Amino acid sequence: MAIHFNERNKTFYIGGKDFSYIFRIKDGRLQHLFFGKRIKEQDVSYIADGRKTEFAPTVSDGAESSDVLTQEYPVYGRGDYREPAVLITAADGGRTTDFIYRSHSILKNKSKISGMPTLRGGETLVIELQDELYGLILSLYYTVYEDCGAVVRRVVLKNGGKSDVIINKINSFSVDIPRCDLDKICLQGGWAKERGVERSALTHGIFEVSSTRGSSSHHLNPFIALCDKNADENVGEAYGFNLVYSGSFSVKAQVDQLGITRVGGGINEKDFRWALKVGESFETPEAVLVYSAEGLGKMSRNFHDLYREYLINPAYAYKKRPVVLNCWESFYFDFNDKSLSELIAKAKGTGIDTFVLDDGWFVGRNSDKAGLGDWHVDYDKLSGGLKAVADDCRAAGMKFGIWIEPEMVSEDSELYRAHPDWVVRHPDLTPCKGRHQLVLDFANPDTVDYVKGVISDLLKENDVSYVKWDMNRNITEFYSVYLKERSQEFAHRYILGVYALAEHLTASFPDVFFEGCSGGGGRFDAAMLYYFPQIWTSDNTDALSRAFIQYGTSFCYPLSAMSGHVSACPNHQTARITPFSSRTAIASFCSTGFELNLNALTEEETKGIKKHVEFYDGISDLILKGDLYRLLSPFDGNYFSQMVVSKDKKKALFILMKKLARCNDVYPVVKLKGLNENFTYETGGRLYGGDALMNVGLKFPNDLKDFETVLMVFTVRGAEK
């Protein structure tokens, strides 16, 4: 049993294969005791006892102050001056809550959160607490994932009182780790430079990763890791925290006066204020807490296993992904029947199995200034309609996919003219524009229903097998004409609207493969992964930039979740010239595809396309199911290296990329990881012992050129030694 309550010492033990999560009921309140490496069930309350300080109020004389305790879900107003997990305003103006334990149950099966992504899972602990003053009932949920080092948490707040209350803040989780000698790692960036790894010491005060953009953002991912100062990829303790949420979020790490680190997060309270009427409940999104005693590498592998096994649609999680030819960087808006037909015909016989018609196929869409919202084909460009394009694809042995941006509308569109009240705006303000477009008010169910209908018809009528769902601006004004004075609920309700549409479309079209996108990786989060098995990782398709972006993204998300395409040279975003082989090598460590005009390629490159598809076919199982080992960080030195190893350790894919050539350089030696030391592996016609590969390592030439890569496949030969 993974969850156990010890009646004697009133302690909850949540146990995974490699970790323990322990807390107890003390004086009616929940006190956190331990989250770390697996230990036997025993009393560890000594770690929390006896903390004292001055200027720390207590609920009664002689009691411990909540300001020094390690809390499981801290409240506001009862002496704990650190970040509360929940904050309300009651009808009488009061804000203080004090949740006291009432009961708990251990469920065999986990229930789904209504209208929000939920990890599938089993054993779940539910603890019910009550605030006497306002009659609020708080339920804390913990689902344990024994093999993945993970606990998934969420919270439900019910108004069981006599008056309505306002929720000002409600975290999905909070945990107090009784140490402060930790480093923090976040994934920061911006458009075309998403998820750069940034590590520094955690210090007193509050460190926050957050977004107020209405989406999880290019800028800071809803992820934070805390780790030992000496932790690296292979050793040391590491904690990873990730929200299963796509909207404005906040995750904070706070170090207090007595050296406790509090980590908590959820919906960003800056744009949140929820009216909870008597009898109503509010459910938070889920938060994933991962522990690793074997460094950051194992932390990431835990996330990858968890998301592949329990989050991503099981119909697709381990299924070979479509190898896509996307036409965006071939033509941008400038295409017609002829150019599309030629491109599609050229793909015949390459092994590419899906053609995706990107932006620009619908009425009025000759630039990004118009057309969004009117999802009808532009017959001036495509005289045979989408059907003719789909027919061309079939003739070339490919499936047909299409780009949409369902949450947006252009001012110059039929939809906007018919429903100006369906956009996000304040009635007395001219709304800000982003990429010339406005955002549809997805907090309004009528808007969502309309979009459901239009997109469903589009998919039904056009034999579409693949959808790229884009979202190309951030939200402003945060006002809904529909919600009016309840507009501070807008940010969260908008995302619930997005989920409702995604739920409807993915359930109605189970055979259609959905790819997420937001100007590249602007909404690359676990909640989107629940609906979309892969996400366009970045608009930056340059091989070197992608080495950084995909490396950072892998801290939390599996390789198969990242779409990565081989694109033209010089690269359209960076103008960098990289070898074709480097572009295919980098695009092998993700869900691969192409984003270039096949008609503009040299004969050698055209052959290279086919070769890449064949090569990828042979290793796609590793990308879908394997264990990732990061070997050299592009953020730290002149090389990037990583490998992915099959679970049975019989096969592995390895890459080394040199950033810049140097004269008379040192010979790089890379020690491989994750292999079986007793196996013999073959690569390039030579045999190596697994023990040699991991301890002696491999030596590479010192004259690799700028951006040159070495890609190697290792397969086991013969029996164990």
Q: Which residues are catalytic?
A: 470, 539
Residue nearest to ligand GLA (CB): 359
Taking residue 441's Cβ as centre, other Cβ atoms within 10 Å add up to 27
Interface positions, 271-290, toward ligand GLA (CB under 6 A): none
Cα separation of 456 and 408, whole Å?
16
Closer CB to ligand GLA, residue 518 or residue 709?
518
**Alpha carbon 154 to its chain's center:** 17
Backbone angles phi, psi at 304, to 5 degrees: -60, -45
| Closest-CA residue to 281 (of 118, 140, 138, 78) | 138
- The pattern of x and - marking residues 227 through 256 that bind ligand GLA according to CB under 6 A reads ------------------------------
What is the Cα gyration radius of the chain? 26
| Closest-CA residue to 579 (of 566, 563, 591) | 566
State in angstroms the smallest separation of the CB of 191 from ligand GLA.
9
Among the listed residues 18, 67, 470, 542, the single contact to ligand GLA using CB under 6 A: 470
Closer CB to ligand GLA, residue 517 or residue 710?
517
Among the listed residues 536, 629, 654, 688, the single contact to ligand GLA using CB under 6 A: 536
Total of residues contacting ligand GLA (CB under 6 A):
11
Interface positions, 320-349, toward ligand GLA (CB under 6 A): 328
The angle formed by the CA atoms of residues 290, 295 and 298, to the nearest 5 degrees, is: 55
Take residue 305 and report the two structure tokens written for it. 């296993």
Among the listed residues 67, 353, 489, 539, the single contact to ligand GLA using CB under 6 A: 539
Which residue type, as a one-letter code, is found at position 630? R
Closer CB to ligand GLA, residue 64 or residue 358?
358
State in angstroms the smallest separation of the CB of 9 from ligand GLA.
54
Q: What is the DSSP string of 78-110?
A: SS--S--SEEEE-TTS-----EEEEEEEEESSP
Q: For helices 337-347 and 385-395, give the axis angle rounded to 10 degrees.
A: 20
Residue 599 CA: distances (Å) to CA of 107, 399, 576, 656: 58, 20, 21, 30
Closer CB to ligand GLA, residue 236 or residue 516?
516
Interface positions, 490-529, toward ligand GLA (CB under 6 A): 517, 519-520
State in angstroms the smallest separation of the CB of 517 from ligand GLA.
5
Strand order in the sheet with 686-689: 627-632, 639-645, 651-658, 709-716, 680-683, 686-689
Closer CB to ligand GLA, residue 189 or residue 520?
520
Closer CB to ligand GLA, residue 65 or residue 472?
472
Closer CB to ligand GLA, residue 75 or residue 517?
517
- The pattern of x and - marking residues 389 through 408 that bind ligand GLA according to CB under 6 A reads --------------x-----
State in angstroms the smallest separation of the CB of 470 from ligand GLA.
5
Closer CB to ligand GLA, residue 535 or residue 675?
535
Residue 6 CA: distances (Å) to CA of 19, 44, 707: 18, 12, 58
> Which distant-in-sequence residues (6+ apart) come within 8 Å of 352 by Cβ?
323, 324, 325, 398, 593, 594, 609, 613
| Closest-CA residue to 478 (of 429, 524, 517, 525) | 429
**472 binding ligand GLA? (CB under 6 A):** yes
Binding site for ligand GLA (CB under 6 A): 328, 358-359, 403, 470, 472, 517, 519-520, 536, 539
